[in-house]
Amino acid sequence: MLIIIADLEVFYRVGVSDTERARPQRLLLTVELEPGENRSTMTDDLSDTVDYYEVSRDLLQFGEHRSWRLLEKLASDLADELLARYRLKAVTVEVKKFVLPEARHVAVRLCRTAA
């Protein structure tokens, strides 16, 4: 089972140059969460799964008082945080950035499994 949050709009400071990181910029995050074995039962109880609302609130706040030079590092930090906080079996994080006028977006996708 996967829980997917698609194209969550966040505002983080990310970019190679100081000027690009001076202000938060719009990014879209897509995360695919695979709950750990102990959370994969199919019940109607929220405590038996991952609360996607809680995850979305955490993602919205994740960039506060932080900055990244590379999307790759941002995706890695997000994946590490989600794995640790929500006891996931695996996570996929995609970060979309809108910086090339000739392209719809630039994206980084990272998949990570729990140790």
Cβ neighbourhood burial of 8 (10 Å; 0-12, 13-18, 19+): middle
Taking residues 94-102, what's their average pLDDT?
A: 97
Taking residues 77-88, what's their average pLDDT?
A: 95
Q: What does the pLDDT look like over 40-50, one tens digit per residue?
A: 567 788 877 89
Mean pLDDT for the chain?
A: 93
pLDDT of residue 44: 84
Answer whether 58's CB lies under 8 Å from 5's CB.
Answer: no
Q: What is the DSSP letter of 54?
A: H
Write the Ramachandran bin of 92: left for phi over 0, alpha for psi from -120 to 50, otherwise beta: beta
Report pTM: 0.92
For the chain, domains (ranges, CATH) are 3-113 (3.30.1130.10)
% pLDDT > 70, the chain? 97
pLDDT of residue 45: 81
